[in-house]
Chain A
Amino acid sequence: MSTLKVNAIRGTGASSDAISVNSTDGTCTANLTNPRSFRNLIINGGMQVAQRGSSSTSDGVHTVDRFAMGYGGENEAPTQAQHDLTSSDTGPWEKGFRNSFHITNGNQTGGAGAGDYAQIIYKIEAQDLANSGWNYTSTSSYITLSFWVKSSVAQTYYVRLNAEDASKAYSFAISVTTSWQKITKSIPGNSNLVVNEDNGCGLALYFIPFYGTNFTTSGHTNDSWITDSGSDQVTDMTSTWWTTNDATFEVTGVQLEVGDTATEFEHRLYGDELQRCKRYFQMYANSNGKYTGITAVYYTSTHIECMIRYEPEMRATPSLIQGSGSNYYGVYRDGNRDDFDSFSGLNASDHRGGSLYNNTAVNAVSGQVGAVILNSSSAYISFSAEI
């Protein structure tokens, strides 16, 4: 057996080493592009999980978990969707992606106003970025963003990162075509960056089909960390996408990782992504005619308390979002059923659990217990702690 002794291995046409060998301690540093686990800081970057539904015209997170659509100044609302990819989606399909986050523009009959905008938003929890290994105050330490993107309107779009704890932002242009293409961008740290170790927003990513001139300037500085300014977020944009009825813009395979190299997307199992998403949103029950798994205790004859526990614990004390309508919910107890329209509130709650209650429509005997069931296809119980 022989030993190859070198200090580095470099491709014949490369300008940097693929492997750097420590000459004394027997270790090496490799510039890998093949998968390592748990490196993607983006949850649900493959757009697999959509607990709320597959299509919506509302702004906010309403389809693909963790990804929000934002818009303003519209004549007709855009539509966000978890979009099914097919073998015709050359590029991401071969890389194993089966879904995208897809926006279809509305019919903006008033043209492009200065205050009009459409964007896709993803917010990274600050403590996840703070503990990621990125030395964000060093200009020689990088994070790398990669994603697949496609639009029905070929033009220049922008991506923007906002480090909210530092009020610093970084933007860059992307040239998007009507075919899928993979974008990669390495972004250095900056001595003025601040990332708190808390559950707030550490870094917000914006994919921008259109910003009106209230949010842009002709002299905007791209490819550099600058002080965040609401009126100078990106370079002035062409309005073609916004003024094209039913124009589309979609992304998938979003990955943000520490280092200056974009590795292959870290595909994760649906169940793994779902569990991560549940820190921010949990669809607790939404099946008509099915028991919710919730037990109701009659605290008084006209007041039920229903103890719940979030699994996993949520980012913050969540909002209760529920369907609300005539007799949407029922409690089976003592051979009868109490129907009610919605829960009245959420008592003594925190990020681990609480108690749903109703004290307006139920009537039984204090101390009885019952099982809560959904009586309507529009009934659901969910909890949201989105950033």
Chain B
Amino acid sequence: MTYPTNPIYKLVKDVTLSAIEGKDVINQVKIKPTSNSEKIIPFHEANTDYQEYLEWVAEGNTADPAD
């Protein structure tokens, strides 16, 4: 597939698990498919959006850091 070049993916913190574990847990990533929509993708191996994200990372790209 053709990935957008900019903006790209942005990592998202799981605030619940981060609070429970006392450290930042990054387990999702955000992308804006259109100007007025947003997709938040969990790091789950069977999720096909996550599989596309991993392909994008494998091509040498890096997501923006989480807030």
* Residue ranges of A at the interface with B (Cβ–Cβ < 8 Å): 58, 72, 199-200, 303, 305, 315-325, 342-350, 355, 357, 359, 378, 384-387
Q: In the complex, what residues of B have CB within 8 A of residue A355's CB?
A: 16
7 contacts between A and B (CB under 8 A): A316-B46, A319-B39, A320-B39, A344-B15, A345-B12, A345-B40, A357-B15
The answer to whether A319 and B37 touch across the interface, beta carbons within 8 angstroms, is: no
Q: In the complex, what residues of B have CB within 8 A of residue A342's CB?
A: 38
Say which residue of A200, A346, A386 sits within 8 Å of B42 (CB atoms). A346
Q: In the complex, what residues of A have CB within 8 A of residue B50's CB?
A: 319
Interface string of B29-44 (1 = CB under 8 A from A): 0101100111111101
CA of A384 to CA of B49, assembled, Å? 9
Q: In the complex, what residues of A have CB within 8 A of residue B2's CB?
A: 72
Shortest C-beta distance, A381 to chain B (Å), equals 11
The answer to whether B28 and A345 touch across the interface, beta carbons within 8 angstroms, is: yes
* Residue ranges of B at the interface with A (Cβ–Cβ < 8 Å): 2, 12-17, 28, 30, 32-33, 36-42, 44, 46-50
CA of A318 to CA of B48, assembled, Å? 9
The answer to whether B47 and A378 touch across the interface, beta carbons within 8 angstroms, is: no
Say which residue of B16, B17, B36, B41 sits within 8 Å of A319 (CB atoms). B41
Shortest C-beta distance, B52 to chain A (Å), equals 10
Q: In the complex, what residues of A have CB within 8 A of residue B13's CB?
A: 345
CA of A332 to CA of B57, assembled, Å? 40
Q: In the complex, what residues of B have CB within 8 A of residue A315's CB?
A: 46
Shortest C-beta distance, A370 to chain B (Å), equals 18
The answer to whether B47 and A385 touch across the interface, beta carbons within 8 angstroms, is: yes
Say which residue of A72, A324, A349, A357 sits within 8 Å of B32 (CB atoms). A324
9 closest residue pairs by CB, A with B: A316-B46, A317-B44, A347-B16, A324-B38, A320-B40, A345-B12, A317-B42, A319-B49, A319-B41
Take A346-B28, A384-B49 as given contacts and tell me if A322 and B12 are in contact as well, using a CB distance cutoff of 8 Å: no
Q: In the complex, what residues of A have CB within 8 A of residue B39's CB?
A: 319-322, 384
The answer to whether A347 and B47 touch across the interface, beta carbons within 8 angstroms, is: no
Q: In the complex, what residues of B have CB within 8 A of residue A378's CB?
A: 36
Shortest C-beta distance, B34 to chain A (Å), equals 8
Q: In the complex, what residues of A have CB within 8 A of residue B15's CB?
A: 303, 344-345, 347, 357, 359
Q: In the complex, what residues of B have CB within 8 A of residue A357's CB?
A: 15-16
